[in-house]
Amino acid sequence: MSAPVPPPPSRASRLSDRNHRALIVVLGDQLSANISSLAAGSKTNDVVLMAEVMDEATYVPHHKKKIAFLFSAMRHFAESLKDAGWSVEYTRLDDHGNTGSFTGEVERVLERHGCAEIIVTEPGEWRVLQAMRSWRDRFGLPVRILDDDRFVCSRSDFAKWAAPRKQLRMEYFYRDMRRRTGLLMNGTEPEGERWNYDADNRKPARGQLKFPNPFRVEPDATTCEVLDLVDARFGNHFGDLRPFWFAVTPADAQAALDHFIDATLPHFGDYQDAMVKDESFVYHSVLSLYINAGLLDPLEVCGRVEAAYRRGDAPLNAAEGFIRQIIGWREYVRGIYWLEMPGYRDRNHFNAERSLPKFYWTGETDMACLHAAITQTKEEAYAHHIQRLMVTGTFAMLAGIDPHAVHEWYLAVYADAYEWVELPNTLGMSQFADGGLLSSKPYAASGNYINKMSDYCRGCHYDVKQKTGDGACPFNSLYWDFLARNRETLEGNPRLAHPYRTWDRMDADRRADTRRSAKQILDALR
Ligand code: FAD
Ligand code: DLZ
Ligand code: SF4
């Protein structure tokens, strides 16, 4: 664990103790007008650097839509800073002399401006923090790395929360965040006298439901220019670039939030875990890419959701479920990331070594659930939580795919993916590769779960009821094979006692048949 970052001094105290020029570096996921680095700077004195760099666009092969979203949002943000009176140095990807890295671009700007200090808000990835830490020696300048106060819980506060605890569990952390923010609280008590309405949020989406589409924005001239650039420079990356409909400004992201609150939030809770064929978004907000890039403020979003509940425009299970995802899970996974890095990335509890199947990049598989989740990921750079967790995630874990390969896939393919949020969700929550640090049991399930929560199985080549043999749903034998294969590591987990008893009660022939079926499926993945 690195030393906690000291809180930023107030703007007044900072300006009074210096009259030199500072270089403020703003990263692609720091597009917030009140971010701590800008709040600590001076419009009239300092220079802001923003840079499109090849290193960031290629350290994993990001989805084309993700690159286009960030480049366009960065260009708009730089313009808004200039309009607000900041002096901005903006490097476009194709600018002559672009060095391709943050460090190279900092060096170039320092050569042009006589800066005496570098100010940054802490980044969302360990490798970028390491680069920033190298700048002091490299450039012989003080580097001030400020807290990212867009989060409710700072890294140091999370470390303090975690230190005395033998076991970290999101639920207790979340209650503290509710108390800290006052969201959905009545004095010291939770609204509705329960902290968590998760049990009410697991309805399958059956019957005649109407699904609102997320808010769509027509690309403007800046976005069109970026789309051409991405086409030309990243044509070999995963994913469809067009149609491109993401918001790229705070105003349009606000409109997307308004739309979610009006059209979608009332149903968010009930159907949070539902999956529906040909419905990529169900009742999800599709706001994570805007929140993570800084176009929306997470606490403002939660405030709007609480207000909708208090007005009677959304039920409590929807408002609580949504707010829990943001001040609970989102803050919690970030805390775990910084607490556990850099070792976290290499955790591999089950010593899983299989390569990622090729169909993760093409969607070409007869498994209808995986085909749907991957195809929409390719089209939209989006899949909702249950698809990420219980379809692509569960399959990879059951099949013993190397968790690092799984991590790199998730980091590349989703428009909202940055390591601080993606890695704990993938490695910890979905692959159990951290051995249970983040969640108390692996999210392992047979085809039965997907059948219960979706309509995928009805149109699938495989039969979800068939346990073994050629036409059987692959999740069925892989589920038991996973438990049998990892018995030594998992048997002691009380939450798995029931499935192990069931496995032991099966007759020996059936167990052998199950493992044979699983072996055939795994062999075919090669
Ligand atoms: P909604 O379902 O509408 O949820 C509302 C908001 O809550 C989201 O916008 C997001 O800000 C937050 N949220 C919900 N669940 C989580 C969570 N588990 N962790 C953090 N925030 C959460 N989320 C990312 O933002 N980036 C990632 O790279 C990412 N990778 C994931 C990988 C795996 C394997 C899994 C299982 C989950 C991952 N998630 C990630 C969490 C979650 O799936 C996405 O936040 C969510 O699907 C985004 O869609 P949405 O905005 O429609 O979310
Ligand atoms: C993801 C990304 C991409 C594709 N490109 C850039 C870029 O060119 N310039 C930039 O400042 N940021 C980019 N990003 C986001 C960074 O990768 C992100 O800021 C770091 O990973 C820290 O979270
Ligand atoms: Fe997925 Fe199995 Fe259902 Fe097919 S039958 S959609 S593979 S769970």
pLDDT tens for each residue of 19-67: 699 999 999 999 999 999 999 999 999 999 999 999 999 999 999 999 9
Domain coordinates of the chain in residue numbers? 11-146, 155-219+248-340, 359-525
Atom of ligand 1 at shortest range from CA of 429: 36
Q: Report pLDDT digits (tens) over 230-262.
A: 999 999 999 999 999 999 999 999 999 999 999
CA 333 to chain CA mean position, Å: 9
Higher pLDDT, 201 or 513: 513
Separation CA 446–CA 40 (nearest Å): 52
Residue in 370, 398, 365, 389 with CA at minimum distance from that of residue 476: 398
**Binning pLDDT at 50, 70 and 90, where does residue 3 land?**
very low
Tell which residue, 427, 357, 411, has the closest CA to residue 58: 411
What confidence tens digit (pLDDT) does each residue in 301-334 have? 999 999 999 999 999 999 999 999 999 999 999 9
Ligand 1 centre distance from Cα of residue 324 (Å)? 11
Topology of the domain comprising 11-146:
Rossmann fold (3.40.50)
| Distance (Å, whole) CA 103 – CA 142 | 15
Supply the pLDDT for residue 106.
Answer: 98
Average of pLDDT values for 163-173?
A: 95
Q: What is the pTM of this model?
A: 0.96
Find out whether the beta carbon of 25 lies less than 6 Å from any atom of ligand 2. Answer: no
DSSP 226-281: HHHHHHHHSTTSSS---S-----SHHHHHHHHHHIIIIIHHHHTTTTT-BBTTBSS
Q: How far is CA 370 from the centre of its chain?
A: 19
Q: Of all protein residues, whose CA lies closest to atom 8 belonging to ligand 2? A: 52
Nearest Cα residue to atom 8 of ligand 3: 447
As assigned by CATH, the class of the 155-219+248-340 domain is mainly alpha
Q: Of all protein residues, whose CA lies closest to atom 10 belonging to ligand 1?
A: 288
pLDDT per residue over 4-13, tens digit each? 444 444 444 4
Instruction: Tell me the three state secondary structure of residue 463.
Output: strand
The finding on whether 418 has its CB within 6 A of some atom of ligand 3 is: no
Confidence at residue 10, expressed as pLDDT on a 0 to 100 scale: 46
Which pair of tokens denotes residue 360? 């993760």
Displacement of CA 83 from its chain's centroid (Å): 31
- C-beta separation of 399 from 522 below 8 A: yes
pLDDT of 165 above 50: yes
CA 470–ligand 1 middle distance (angstroms): 35
Q: Which residues contact 473 (CB under 8 A, 6 or more apart)?
A: 367, 446, 447, 457, 460, 462, 463, 464, 465, 466
pLDDT, tens digit, 9 for 90 and up, residues 361-416: 999 999 999 999 999 999 999 999 999 999 999 999 999 999 999 999 999 999 99
Taking each helix axis from N to C terminus, what angle separates 474-485 and 508-525, rounded to the nearest 10 degrees? Answer: 110
pLDDT computed for residue 6 by the predictor: 45
pLDDT digits (tens, 9 = 90+) for 489-503: 999 999 999 999 999
**Pocket residue to mutate for ligand 2, from 35, 48, 56, most atoms within 8 A of Cβ:** 56
**C-beta of 380 in contact with ligand 1 (< 6 A):** no
Q: Does the CB atom of residue 464 touch ligand 3 within 6 A?
A: yes
Does residue 331 contact residue 173 with C-beta atoms inside 8 Å? yes
The CATH T-level fold of domain 359-525 is: DNA Cyclobutane Dipyrimidine Photolyase, subunit A; domain 3 (1.10.579)
Cβ–ligand 2 contact at 68 (below 6 Å): no
Q: How far apart are CA 355 and CA 351, in angstroms?
A: 12
pLDDT category of residue 1 using cuts at 50, 70 and 90: very low
Contact between residue 318 and residue 141 where contact means Cβ atoms under 8 Å apart: no
**Which residues make Cβ contacts (< 8 Å) with residue 338, sequence separation at least 6?**
1, 2, 155, 158, 159, 420
For ligand 2, atom 15: residue with the closest CA: 28
Q: How many CB atoms lie within 10 A of CB 65?
A: 29
DSSP 181-239: H-TTEETTEEGGG-S--GGGS-----SS---PPPP-----HHHHHHHHHHHHHSTTSSS
If one residue of 369, 390, 454 were mutated to test the ligand 3 pocket, choosing by the most ligand atoms within 8 A of its CB, it would be 369
Do you find a cis peptide bond into 219, omega within 30 degrees of 0? Answer: no
The response to whether residue 467 sits with its C-beta less than 6 Å from ligand 3 reads no
pLDDT tens digits, one per residue of 431-489: 999 999 999 999 999 999 999 999 999 989 999 999 999 999 999 999 999 999 999 99
Strand order in the sheet with 87-91: 87-91, 47-51, 22-25, 117-121, 143-146
Q: Which of 29, 325, 394 to mutate to test the pocket of ligand 1 (most atoms within 8 A of CB)?
A: 325
Does the C-beta of 396 come closer than 6 Å to ligand 3? no
Going from the Cα of 57 to the center of ligand 2, the distance in angstroms, rounded, reads 7
Closest ligand to the CA of 406: 1
The structure tokens listed for 247 are 């918001």
Smallest-distance ligand from the CA of 127: 2
Host H or E run for residue 306: helix 298-310
Tell me the C-alpha distance between 297 and 207, whole Å: 35
Distances (CA, A) of 75 to 55, 294, 302: 18, 14, 27
Mean pLDDT of 133-143: 97
Average pLDDT over residues 149-155: 98
Atom of ligand 1 nearest to the CA of 334: 20
Q: What is the mean pLDDT of the chain?
A: 95
Q: How far is the CA of 16 from the centre of ligand 2 (A)?
A: 32
Q: Which two tokens stand for residue 108?
A: 């170039």
How high is the pLDDT of residue 210? 87
- Please count the CA atoms within 13 angstroms of the CA of 420 that sit on its side-chain side: 22
